Structure 1
Amino acid sequence: MSSQIPRRRSSPVRRAGVLGAILGATALVVPTAQVAPDDVALVRMQRSSAVDAHQHVIWILAVGSDARPGQSMTRSRGDALQMVGLDTRTGAAAAIGIPRDSFVPIPGYSANRVNAAMVLGGPQLLGRTVAGMVGVEPDYVMVTRFPFFEDLVDDIGGITVTNPRAFSDVNLKPEGFKRGRIRLDGYGAMAFSRIRKSLAGGDFARSANQQRVLRAIGAEIRARADRPGFMERGVLSVVQHMATDLGPAELFRVAQAMAQVEPSRITMCVVGGSVATIRGMSVVRPNLTQARRLGAAARDDATLPAGC
């Protein structure tokens, strides 16, 4: 699956200036280890001390944590897994959707569903496990709770997605989602991203829906980026809810990479596979050949082939 999003251009100088002003002040607001929020975590993979300033493609594994109240966000199963590459030279971005039930080897443990890796070893182990699937190791793992995700969508005024087929869920969304362009609030975006059992494509279709939501969030943010104070409030809100081991300069580099994305150069694919039962579990046998082909294609320029 690939997609293109129309762009309303804003000044790169202005964007860099806004981000510099915001993140230049993060030394004052980035949480310390003693007072770490539990809404968002941005973790650097241990293989590197920082992203090389000359490295032009940054890889971030984005994870929606399935943690319940009172549970550790970074030691619970990941309900949404997207491997995102950002090319800082060209503004290209690629997202590789990882079905959460993918049955794969977990370093140091027996094979299991990919999202079990975060339970067993936190974001670091999940990052290594996904790297084994796609052949590209993330530079960072970003984990969020779904309530924070809902608040984010509500704070930007909701999102619009194009839904390819109507579906519902007796627990999350009994009234369902109609086919076509639909407007979603925070709760609706969460439900749209998490429903699986009533989708004909199961885990694969859910991962594609997660990508639709990510695209829509990006579109809404871009539409408001030039409003006075919008970017400042948004970034500071995230930073104040974030637990991270990154310093201000490294945070700035990551945020700058996100701000430089050209919507016309966004491509997205979901790793395919087949459904199976292993050890009494319903799992996905991922197409690792495809996953590694996607990783190889996007490794150097964050661009995926059309049609996956």
Structure 2
Amino acid sequence: MSSPETSRVRRWVRRVVRTTALAAVLAGVAVVVPDSEVASTEVSFVKVERAQGVDLSPDVVWILAIGSDARPWEDKVKTRGDALQLVGIHTKTGAATAIGLARDSYVDIPGHGRNRINSAMVFGGPQLQARTVAGLIGIEPDYVMVARFEGVEGMVREIGPIQVDNPYAFSDVNLKKEGFRAGRIKLGWYDALAFSRIRKGLVDGDFGRSANQQRVIRGIHAKIVAEQRKPGFIEGGVAAVLKHTHTDASPVELYRIAQAITQVKANKISTCVVKGSIGQAGSASVVFPDVATARRYGNDARKDATIKRC
């Protein structure tokens, strides 16, 4: 591809490929990626003001990863999230899970009636978004991560190509005309973004896209685990987060999360997507989530960050 064409594609991607939940998970992974390129304006890591009497295991850290739908001039923590992933990491056993949520899921938003789940960020920022997700799944996050598109680009460039297991071939005329073949494939920064953003051509649409985001997350984790033995890797990563990310979490908290991420075992990762039915709420097309299944995922994973079956 020529240089002008590359520039054109990148500009187009910046318009169309709005940051996904993958971006926020990448931001979380920044804890263990020394000297990340992600700018301080691209990532926010917010500690959730916990409700009284919340039943959670002290050994499991829950992070709500949100990709900001914000334009460059907008506040990313006050705009709709493009997609959401609730990530749980067990700090002792090496287990981890990710529960994907469709951005158009029609749910109760505390104090604001029923609306699309990602509207909670507009109404009340990360704190209300966390409470809204908790209302659906039954798990209240400890932290909320929010990142823009540039956060994804910088992080994948920093980590380098990853590998994912693609269940079937698919393509998109705009994002990836030649498409992705089925099987074990390698993804650079652009392909990782396209793989996690394509919806058309997928068997499950938005639900399939959320599952692909989780596949990319697995690939990123595997790459990080391969690098963790380098001297000072975790310490340098925490320093990078403090330097490049707006956060109210302490260095001790970040170090704990960093250690937990690097200790996650590939055979103890479980990922599921909360599916539902497509319908109408007034004139809006929405997803009516399967609440019973969402609660089952939450009940399964609450204590040990493990979902037995999707």
> What interval of TM-score do these two structures reach, taking the shorter chain for normalisation?
0.7 to 0.9
Q: Assess, with a 3 A threshold, how the Cα gap between structure 1 residues 187 and 66 changes in structure 2: closer, same or farther.
A: farther
1: CA distance between counterparts of 2:216 and 2:66?
14
2: CA distance between counterparts of 1:238 and 1:183?
27
Identity %: 56
CA-CA distance at 1:275 after TM superposition? 1.1
Alpha carbons 2:235, 2:255 under 8 Å: kept = no
Q: 1:192-213 deviations in whole A, cap 9, x for unaligned?
A: 1122133220111011001000
CA-CA distance at 1:232 after TM superposition? 4.9
Q: Assess, with a 3 A threshold, how the Cα gap between structure 1 residues 286 and 48 changes in structure 2: closer, same or farther.
A: closer
Indicate which of 93, 112, 124 corresponds to 1:121.
124
1:71 corresponding residue in structure 2: 74
TM-score, with structure 2 as normaliser = 0.81
Q: 1:71-119 deviations in whole A, cap 9, x for unaligned?
A: 2111122123111111122121111111111111111112111111112
Indicate which of 285, 304, 308 corresponds to 2:307.
304
Q: Assess, with a 3 A threshold, how the Cα gap between structure 1 residues 285 and 188 changes in structure 2: closer, same or farther.
A: same
Alpha carbons 2:76, 2:147 under 8 Å: kept = yes
- Aligned residue for 2:285, secondary structure, equals strand
Alpha carbons 1:146, 1:190 under 8 Å: kept = no
Amino acid at match of 1:240: K
1:201 corresponding residue in structure 2: 204
- How big is the alpha-carbon RMSD for the aligned residues of Structure 1 and Structure 2? 2.4
Amino acid at match of 2:181: K
Amino acid at match of 1:267: S
The answer as to 2:239 corresponding to 1:236 is yes
2: CA distance between counterparts of 1:89 and 1:260?
8
CA-CA distance at 1:146 after TM superposition? 2.1
1:135 corresponding residue in structure 2: 138
- Aligned residue for 2:111, secondary structure, equals coil
2: CA distance between counterparts of 1:148 and 1:245?
18
Q: How does 1:149-228 map to 2 (within 5 A)?
A: 149-228=152-231
CA-CA distance at 1:186 after TM superposition? 1.2
Q: How many residues align?
A: 273
Alpha carbons 2:88, 2:305 under 8 Å: kept = yes
Structure 2 residue ranges without an equivalent (≥5): 1-30
1:248 corresponding residue in structure 2: 251
The answer as to 2:114 corresponding to 1:102 is no
Amino acid at match of 2:126: P
2:13 corresponding residue in structure 1: none
2: CA distance between counterparts of 1:170 and 1:282?
24
- Aligned residue for 1:192, secondary structure, equals helix
Indicate which of 76, 86, 89 corresponds to 2:89.
86
2: CA distance between counterparts of 1:236 and 1:105?
38
CA-CA distance at 1:235 after TM superposition? 4.1
CA-CA distance at 1:59 after TM superposition? 0.9
Structure 1 residue ranges without an equivalent (≥5): 1-18, 23-35
Q: Assess, with a 3 A threshold, how the Cα gap between structure 1 residues 238 and 167 changes in structure 2: closer, same or farther.
A: farther
1: CA distance between counterparts of 2:51 and 2:286?
32
Q: Assess, with a 3 A threshold, how the Cα gap between structure 1 residues 67 and 171 changes in structure 2: closer, same or farther.
A: farther
